[in-house]
Structure 1
Amino acid sequence: MKQLLFILIIFSISLNTVSAQNSSVNEDVVWDIITARLFSDYSSYAYRFEEDIRIQLKGSPNQEDSTIFQTLINDLNSLTETVQVTLVKDSANFIISILPSNDGLGLNQDMDTEEYVIQKVELDFNLRYINSYEEKLRDYYFYTIRSLTKLFHFDADIIGYGGIFYYKDKPEYIAFSDIDKEIIKKLYSTNFYHDLKKNTIKTYGYLYYWNIRYKSTLKFFLTFISIIIAAIGLLFIQSRYVKKTTHKLKDYFKAGFLVLILTGLIYWIFILPAFISSQSTHYFSNLAFFILAYLPLGLIAIPFLYYSERFLLKNSQKFLQRQTIIFFTTIIAFLMGHLFEILIFIALQHLNFTNISTKPGLISPTFALAAIITAFLRILLNWSNHRIQSMVNQKDVEIAKMKELKNQAELNALHSRINPHFLYNSLNSIASLAHIDADKTENMATGLSELFRYSINKENKTFVTVAEELEMVKKYLEIEKNRFGDKLVYEIHSDESTLEKQIPKFLIQPLVENAIKHGLSKIKSTGKVSVEVKRIEKNLIISIADNGPDFPAEPVSGYGLQNLHDKLDIIYGNDARINWENGENKHIRIILKNQFNQ
């Protein structure tokens, strides 16, 4: 009798499977279940087997168990398109263990979370909880079919469905319904994602589809958009009202209402995914509601903020204390404004101007979030205004300091261009040569005159070409050579590509003068000075070498390098560097970075 009853049950399931192919199933309900249960907040794909499903029975299965699972396999093969379901003895990727009554009950799914693929399933059945064929049939179908995917969001209610994919835990009575079969059929079809996109967009639009497939990306994008809108809005408000404010209540109202509208817009963007998930398509009507709801709030909140903060902030100088005052006055203003909204609602209800029976509550999560967002927006606005004012003040100080350094550098440069000792020695040399060599005397006087003309700088030129600077260096060295005679040998080299490059005036000549003053004048043998200007990649390199005594550890003050360092710092900032080296290759070098485009 029991065998006959079991066969009738199996036959009934088979008939249900066949009839399911022809039965009419609500497509919208099927896709609603798929989107609600098979997709999570962080997955863009539904989990499923991509290889054929090879089921192996282990433990203590009997003939009845084998018959049930063979029937289940036949049902699944009539539904799945991308995989074939078979019953195997080894090499299984779906292992079902029929355990004695004293063992446990469990499910283990091995998944590739990057590819959203179920690789292996181990499902254990405990016979202790199975007391009849109907219970065995129900449990085997329920847990096996659910293991073909991964389920999410059991808190989401789906009207019109109560099947295998609905419940978090196994109910007392449940069957493999037509909707369950249609879910498996669609999930394991070759066009699953194409059909999902087509049906979802047709029914609920693109936003709902994007919210299903790319929910985390959509949330990140909306958060990014809200930050951009907040930044642009605050900059607009600040440039339009804060910086040009006359500190009148009228201006405060204008800026305050803009902040409230900005708050409504940002809050709407934040909760937009919730609207999308609820399958609502009235996005912009919801936005209008949020913005309009803030208008009566502003009538009370803005004057309160205007007068309270003028009184409280007047005696507060600490930045953190001012932000705390702004935060709490904003919260209090929201409470007062919302209370005013409630009073208006009660008055309208009393006068029968509205048929809404439920009045708004005093405090709700939505209200609290809007109040906090507005408070932080006002803090951000105040902070940005404080920051800009601090930057302006700092910039004024820097400009004043730069002018002072510029004036000092120019004064120092004037002092160092023509060294009085150099002028004295040069005039003595000219006087001595006048009776000996008239041509040399003329050349030396002409060179000294041109050097003076270059130093006077009637055109107020800050920059000259490398070629111009090297020409003056050559004239200076010729004058010094008339003094030292054969004791001074010099050479000047420059790359062709550097000659037209602009450099600060009197950048090289003071260094050459230092080489003679602190170097060659201290030795008895022939002194050698070498000037080299070259290009290395994008940098301009200026080197002055001599064979005099080594530089001291810090050749700054005594060698006139401080003036040069200040000048380079003002003009080039971090793109200029001075270094030196002692020894056989004694030299001082100036590196001007990024002076060439290629």
Structure 2
Amino acid sequence: MKTKTILSALLVITCFLQIKAGDKELDPDTERMYWRFIKERLFDGQNAIASKFQKNIYINLITECSNDSVIVNDLIKVLKELIPDREIGFCRSIYDRPEINIAEELIFLGINKAPMFSNREFRSSKNINGNQIFYDGFKGIYQPEIYMQIIHIKLNDSVTFAERKRYIEFAVLRSLCTIKGRPKETYTFSPNAIFNGFDYEPYGTEFSEVDKFLIQKLYSEDFHEQFKKFLIEDNSRKYYRAFLYKDQFSSIKTLIAILITLLVIATSYKTILFRNYKHKFFNYIIIALLLGVTTVITFLVLQHVASIGVYRLSTNAILSGALLILYVTMASILYGVEHLFIRPGMSFNKKTLLKIIFFFTITSIPSIILRNTVSGFNTAMMINLITLGFVIALGRGFLLYIKEVGDSAIRRKDVELLKLEELKTKAEMQSLNAKVNPHFLYNSLNSIAGLAHSNPEKTEKMAVALSNLFKYNIDRTSKQYSTIYEEVEMVKAYLEIEKIRFTHRLNYSIHIDADLESIEIPRNLILPLVENAVKHGVSKIEEVGEIKLSVEKSDSGFFINVLDNGPDFPDGLVRGFGLKCVQDIIQLYYNGKAEFSWQNEPQKVVTIDVNSAI
């Protein structure tokens, strides 16, 4: 009996000295370390809740060992010093203290005797030499309240007083708070502290200074204000907001990421996303780079706005480069797979389905590899990334559908425009032909009028030739095109008329490659050239006029050349209605695949160079 009294006295003295030591003011570095200890044990970085008993704390002890009562009583004295604004004490029987709220204030502690509610399914610590703790009770993770705790401690008969004390203190103290930090993100430890470990294991622990600091601060009325002050001073105000309100900041991050993505799509969907490059491979690589840059920008923005991590510029550069390389690699693989398995003759729906499947499969592979190679990459992270890949794959299918709808509408419009353009071209060519013939008629009638008084015989011959020429031309008024042979026949008729007028002052020659006679060209393409050579060439000189018409093959098609020995062409553009009509006809019919040119040296010639690949 005397031995027990002496041990109790020593225990009380030890506890008193520990309390006094705990009362002494901590140096700033130690206090900062203790606060970090609290941060890493009581918070998981998702919300600002640190769970604890909201009212008084009573312990209902069931034991047959008087030492257990002494240990619990001494522990209560220490807790009273640490939590002075709460009533902390024994509850011998719940029937003796009807004012106690069992659900909110009571800890049932049984030592080698099961407490009430022994039929519950208890969690347990490791069994070390027959010593083990069984525990149950609700501790909020997303709510601040701790409700009734049930603890059953089994100790072997040979356990020492110190070991008994360690197990009881550990069980009671761990019931006063919720340890919910992240072990892999923990950097602050204190030797043998009860709250060091995240597992419920009492072996080798003791009620240390940092444990007292945690209990004292957690149960102080201004705990959150003190913790907020520490986070801001130790890091920053942004860190404080992001650390304690990660759920809210996650929503902000998601919104920012969506806005950045939508902005990129809105500004690049025409110029990049829906652009068809000459080499199809570029479609994949450039889009991959766009997505990679978007991801990097999003990452940097979110890191600045709502991240609590500390990143260096070099780290950002390495991560960004690795991400871009990964995107380009996956895009290259995707291009190869789609190029191998997707055929041009497949339906749009089948192509789109295969593209969704291939994209989802290829984007899922890195997640599976990381899950099996990186220790910190868990199954939940893998599932999240695979789900994200599936959503993006569906998004790609949706964009492909939108693109196909747009392309179909554009194709329909193009067909309609081509039809309208064809009708317009036909009308314009008919208009040009209608203008050419009256112009030629005007010149021919002038020639007939000039001969009427001087040579009636030639006048009659010219009038008949003109009649035959127009009869020949009228028979083809419904046609937009003629063969080269037919056009040259018209030119011959015209030159015969002009030769009658000029007599010996006009000579002409015509040469056509036989292989070209059946080729179709626009009506009245050659005649205005010859007419211009007569009117502005031969008629302006006193010597004999020479006109040469040739239609010859070229490497890419054929040439139409009209030469004359009249005065040189003026500088600049060729003037005259006839040549202007020829230029318009070439532009309408050949659409840039034929060239109209003229030169004075080494000989005066007008040339139409036609590409036969039309």
TM-score w.r.t. the length of structure 1 is 0.52
Equivalences for 1:30-109 in 2 at 5 Å? 30-40=34-44, 43-60=47-64, 62=66, 64-89=67-92, 90-91=96-97, 92=100, 93-100=105-112, 105-109=133-137
Provide the rounded CA distance (Å) in 2 between the counterparts of 1:72 and 1:78: 10
Distance 1:14 1:381, change over 3 A: same
Provide the rounded CA distance (Å) in 2 between the counterparts of 1:82 and 1:99: 28
Match of 2:289 among 232, 253, 257: 257
Structure 1 counterpart of 2:173: 145
* Residue-by-residue CA offset, 1:545-596 (whole Å, 9 max, x unaligned): xxxxxxxxxxxxxxxxxxxxxxxxxxxxxxxxxxxxxxxxxxxxxxxxxxxx
Structure 1 counterpart of 2:159: 131
- Contact 1:47–1:117, Cα closer than 8 Å, also in 2: yes
Q: Does 1:243 align with 2:274?
A: yes
Q: Does 1:27 align with 2:27?
A: no
Provide the rounded CA distance (Å) in 1 between the counterparts of 2:387 and 2:210: 45
Provide the secondary structure at the position in 2 that maps to 1:120: strand
Q: Read off the aligned partner of 2:320 and give its amino acid letter.
A: I
- Contact 1:58–1:97, Cα closer than 8 Å, also in 2: yes
Q: Does 1:390 align with 2:405?
A: yes
Q: Read off the aligned partner of 2:10 and give its amino acid letter.
A: L
Distance 1:191 1:102, change over 3 A: closer
Provide the rounded CA distance (Å) in 1 between the counterparts of 2:56 and 2:363: 64
Q: Read off the aligned partner of 1:38 and give its amino acid letter.
A: L
Provide the secondary structure at the position in 2 that maps to 1:189: coil
Structure 1 counterpart of 2:241: 210
Distance 1:58 1:363, change over 3 A: closer
Provide the rounded CA distance (Å) in 2 between the counterparts of 1:382 and 1:191: 54
Provide the secondary structure at the position in 2 that maps to 1:163: coil
Match of 1:324 among 351, 354, 362: 354
Q: Percent identity?
A: 19
Structure 1 counterpart of 2:322: 293
- Contact 1:259–1:374, Cα closer than 8 Å, also in 2: no
Provide the secondary structure at the position in 2 that maps to 1:78: helix
Distance 1:82 1:229, change over 3 A: farther
Provide the rounded CA distance (Å) in 2 between the counterparts of 1:163 and 1:363: 34
- Contact 1:312–1:325, Cα closer than 8 Å, also in 2: no
Structure 2 counterpart of 1:524: none
Provide the rounded CA distance (Å) in 2 between the counterparts of 1:376 and 1:56: 54
- Contact 2:170–2:194, Cα closer than 8 Å, also in 1: yes
Structure 1 residue 146: Cα displacement: 1.2
- Contact 2:193–2:207, Cα closer than 8 Å, also in 1: yes
Structure 1 residue 136: Cα displacement: 1.8
Q: Read off the aligned partner of 1:210 and give its amino acid letter.
A: R
Structure 1 residue 195: Cα displacement: 1.3
- Contact 1:305–1:333, Cα closer than 8 Å, also in 2: no
Structure 1 residue 188: Cα displacement: 1.1
Structure 1 residue 140: Cα displacement: 1.7
Provide the secondary structure at the position in 2 that maps to 1:319: helix
Equivalences for 1:374-389 in 2 at 5 Å? 377=392, 380-389=395-404
Structure 2 counterpart of 1:340: none
Provide the secondary structure at the position in 2 that maps to 1:165: coil
- Contact 2:107–2:150, Cα closer than 8 Å, also in 1: yes
Provide the rounded CA distance (Å) in 1 between the counterparts of 2:111 and 2:193: 26
- Contact 1:146–1:165, Cα closer than 8 Å, also in 2: yes
Structure 1 residue 19: Cα displacement: 1.1
Structure 1 residue 386: Cα displacement: 1.7
Q: Does 1:160 align with 2:189?
A: yes
Q: Read off the aligned partner of 2:234 and give its amino acid letter.
A: T
Distance 1:108 1:391, change over 3 A: same
Provide the rounded CA distance (Å) in 1 between the counterparts of 2:340 and 2:72: 80
- Contact 2:59–2:107, Cα closer than 8 Å, also in 1: yes
Provide the rounded CA distance (Å) in 2 between the counterparts of 1:148 and 1:387: 58
Provide the secondary structure at the position in 1 that maps to 2:347: coil
* Residue-by-residue CA offset, 1:294-317 (whole Å, 9 max, x unaligned): 455567666665676456543443
Q: Read off the aligned partner of 1:106 and give its amino acid letter.
A: F
Match of 1:11 among 3, 6, 13: 13
- Contact 1:61–1:98, Cα closer than 8 Å, also in 2: no
Structure 1 counterpart of 2:220: 189
Match of 2:262 among 231, 237, 244: 231
- Contact 2:284–2:331, Cα closer than 8 Å, also in 1: yes
- Contact 1:163–1:180, Cα closer than 8 Å, also in 2: yes
Provide the rounded CA distance (Å) in 1 between the counterparts of 2:42 and 2:108: 23
Provide the rounded CA distance (Å) in 2 between the counterparts of 1:114 and 1:271: 25
Q: Read off the aligned partner of 1:163 and give its amino acid letter.
A: A
Return the index of the structure with the highest Cα Rg.
2
Provide the rounded CA distance (Å) in 2 between the counterparts of 1:121 and 1:333: 47
Structure 1 residue 192: Cα displacement: 0.7
Provide the rounded CA distance (Å) in 2 between the counterparts of 1:210 and 1:35: 14
Q: Read off the aligned partner of 1:390 and give its amino acid letter.
A: V
Provide the secondary structure at the position in 2 that maps to 1:164: coil
Q: Read off the aligned partner of 2:52 and give its amino acid letter.
A: R
Provide the rounded CA distance (Å) in 1 between the counterparts of 2:156 and 2:223: 39
- Contact 1:305–1:330, Cα closer than 8 Å, also in 2: no
Residues matched between the structures, number: 371
Structure 1 residue 186: Cα displacement: 0.9
Distance 1:285 1:204, change over 3 A: farther
Equivalences for 1:550-561 in 2 at 5 Å? none
Structure 1 counterpart of 2:311: 282
Distance 1:176 1:322, change over 3 A: same
- Contact 1:55–1:88, Cα closer than 8 Å, also in 2: yes
Structure 1 residue 198: Cα displacement: 1.5
Q: Read off the aligned partner of 2:35 and give its amino acid letter.
A: W
User: What RMSD in Å do the two structures reach over aligned CA positions?
Assistant: 4.5
Provide the rounded CA distance (Å) in 2 between the counterparts of 1:378 and 1:213: 34
Provide the rounded CA distance (Å) in 2 between the counterparts of 1:251 and 1:379: 18
Provide the rounded CA distance (Å) in 1 between the counterparts of 2:333 and 2:58: 72
- Structure 1, unmatched stretches of 5+, are 337-359, 398-598
Provide the secondary structure at the position in 2 that maps to 1:150: coil
- Contact 2:41–2:179, Cα closer than 8 Å, also in 1: yes
- Contact 2:37–2:188, Cα closer than 8 Å, also in 1: no
Provide the rounded CA distance (Å) in 2 between the counterparts of 1:129 and 1:28: 42
Q: Read off the aligned partner of 2:89 and give its amino acid letter.
A: T
Q: Read off the aligned partner of 1:292 and give its amino acid letter.
A: G
Structure 1 residue 55: Cα displacement: 3.0
Structure 2 counterpart of 1:221: 252
- Contact 2:355–2:397, Cα closer than 8 Å, also in 1: no
Structure 1 residue 257: Cα displacement: 1.5
Q: Read off the aligned partner of 1:148 and give its amino acid letter.
A: L
